[in-house]
Structure 1
Amino acid sequence: MAYIFGALAVYVGCIAVLYAAQRSLLYHPDQSVPDPADYGVPQMTAIRVGTADGYALLAWWRPPPAQGSPVLIYFHGNAGHIGERADKIRDYMDAGFGVLLLSYRYNAGSGGAPSEDALLADGRAAMAFVKAQGIAGRRIIVYGESLGTAVAVAMAATHDVGAVVLEAPFSSMAELAQHHYWYAAARWLVRDRFDSMARIGEIGAPLLVVHGRLDRLIPPRFGQTLYDAASPPKEIRLIEQAQHNDLLDYGLPQIVLRFIGRYLGS
């Protein structure tokens, strides 16, 4: 009996540690303040985007080179800084798009603590900045990568946009946590639920989901589930040999550009 109670105490202790540490597991702040020229995109300018609650977020901005050109707003994943996404947005600038690459408030010296509410507030600041430049909603593409897909879904569900691109998305953080921490009933412990399933049906813009079939961090069934719940028009591309972080190596920008061309034109 003592053994049982001891094992139970250890189990409860492990769950308590997971609960207390969950944001440290989910968010990985990076205080680097990268310069666009150092990452091969000198056509971009480092700016600060203000949020409604007073934070000044680092972002890289390349205005659309011609009136009516699309603008892509890029919401990155949970780790690393925006300079590490330069290779992922270069093709879109080469295609004539404007691009806003946003850093969340807990990065790049912006201050603030990460949470779902904080990231969604940062997303709204990015949307407001682009619209303040006179960009019509139908010319805005919201692009989410990994954790950033939840921000992109939330923005597309509440703003007029022209297209949505989700790279390695998940249905909800609660379900993804349950997949990884099945032994801890993790779905009931998650604070930042990022419930994209609850929002995906509110998106009216064309949707593209791209996922690697070998993705172990966010298995492709999560992207498929989200895709299945979305309204048309929608497309999904499951890349046979791709994992979580190497979709760029399998022609991701070309897939995205073809999709955008079909729905927004050149």
Structure 2
Amino acid sequence: MSGWHWLAILLVSGLVFSIWAFQRWGIYEFPKTEETPAAYGLSEVVVKELISEDGARIQVWVSSPDEGAPTILSFYGNAAKIGGSMERFKPLMAKGYGIVVMQYRGASGDKNRSSERGFAMDARALYDQMDTLIGRVVPSERRILHGLSLGSAVGARLASEREFGAVILEASMPRACRYYTKRYRGFPFCYLMWSERYDTVDLIDRVTAPKLFVHGAKDKSLPFEWAVQLAEIAPDPKRIVVFPDGGHADLAKHGLIDLMSEFIEDVIPSAE
């Protein structure tokens, strides 16, 4: 082969290695310091542990519901902390809602490697073991799925595989690769990435529960138009709310928690 052929092989090999390395080490930005509910004043929260599909032990923060109240399974965003993610739901805990937040692999002292595949296994295990974790039976129609940003993709996949009474996707995106293309000035990640893609757009049609899409009009990370596009192809029933002054992860300051409560009360029948 000529020198040009070798050069082409080296360039392609370098590109493949770079994408592989990015998928493995360049995506997840979770804090590494271990957290406790006490640091956030969450006296009602208990830390438990699930056994994932591959045997990994994953930490779960649990605030049990009042008798007959719905329980929210929440998946937080990239670079976020589990404590702060749980803390924002204190008003719902005060109303008697159950709140369950799974710690991600590779976050807050966890020694496992973060990955889309791992998160999916952990999320299914969380759903399947939730009654044991809470200490009482929570029927599927009283389980609420919530996901923020990256967590909206983790949650949407779970909602396409398990039954929920309602689904709330906050700051959602059709595909994660679109975010990286935007972040890195047009680099064609969607043509090059083979993992960590979070292709919610390809499975949203299997999410049949009532859906609420919420987004901030001033979100600089994930444009609200992306959530609108995702909502448009999602099956009914669905609703989309855009907060005019909302950013990416600050919607709790703009009425998100009250909106979630109203939506849940509207679509989930009261327990008799």
Fold-level similarity (TM above 0.5): yes
Does structure 2 conserve the Cα–Cα contact (< 8 Å) formed by 1:212 and 1:244? yes
Label 1:117 to 1:15 Cα distance change in 2 as closer, same or farther (>3 A).
closer
Does structure 2 conserve the Cα–Cα contact (< 8 Å) formed by 1:131 and 1:137? no
Please list the CA deviations of residues 71-100 of structure 1 after superposition, one character each: whole Å capped at 9, or x if unmatched.
Answer: 101111111321121332112211211111
Shift of 1:147: 0.1
Label 1:12 to 1:52 Cα distance change in 2 as closer, same or farther (>3 A).
closer
Aligned residues: 258
Shift of 1:101: 1.1
Structure 1 counterpart of 2:186, from 177, 183, 188: 183
Does structure 1 conserve the Cα–Cα contact (< 8 Å) formed by 2:65 and 2:96? yes
Aligned pairs for 1:1-266 (under 5 A) are 17=18, 20-66=21-67, 68-132=68-132, 133-190=136-193, 191-266=195-270
- What letter is aligned with 2:113? A
Does structure 2 conserve the Cα–Cα contact (< 8 Å) formed by 1:55 and 1:110? no
CA distance in structure 1 between the partners assigned to 2:42 and 2:190 by the alignment: 40
Q: Which segments of 5 or more consecutive residues in structure 1 lack a partner in the other structure?
A: 1-8
Q: CA RMSD in A?
A: 2.2
Shift of 1:182: 4.7
Please list the CA deviations of residues 220-257 of structure 1 after superposition, one character each: whole Å capped at 9, or x if unmatched.
Answer: 11111111111111111101111102111101101111
CA distance in structure 2 between the partners assigned to 1:171 and 1:241 by the alignment: 22
CA distance in structure 1 between the partners assigned to 2:269 and 2:222 by the alignment: 31
Shift of 1:15: 8.4
CA distance in structure 2 between the partners assigned to 1:24 and 1:252 by the alignment: 32
Q: Secondary structure at 2:186's aligned position in 1?
A: helix
Q: Secondary structure at 2:89's aligned position in 1?
A: helix
- What letter is aligned with 1:229? I
The match for 1:5 is none
Shift of 1:146: 0.6
Does structure 2 conserve the Cα–Cα contact (< 8 Å) formed by 1:19 and 1:189? no
CA distance in structure 1 between the partners assigned to 2:17 and 2:53 by the alignment: 34
Using the TM superposition, name which of 142-151 and 122-131 deviates more.
Answer: 122-131
- What letter is aligned with 2:235? S
Shift of 1:16: 5.9
- What letter is aligned with 2:97? F
The match for 1:4 is none
What's the TM-score once normalised by structure 2's chain length? 0.88
Q: Which segments of 5 or more consecutive residues in structure 2 lack a partner in the other structure?
A: 1-9
Using the TM superposition, name which of 85-94 and 97-106 deviates more.
Answer: 85-94
- What letter is aligned with 1:228? E
CA distance in structure 2 between the partners assigned to 1:232 and 1:247 by the alignment: 24
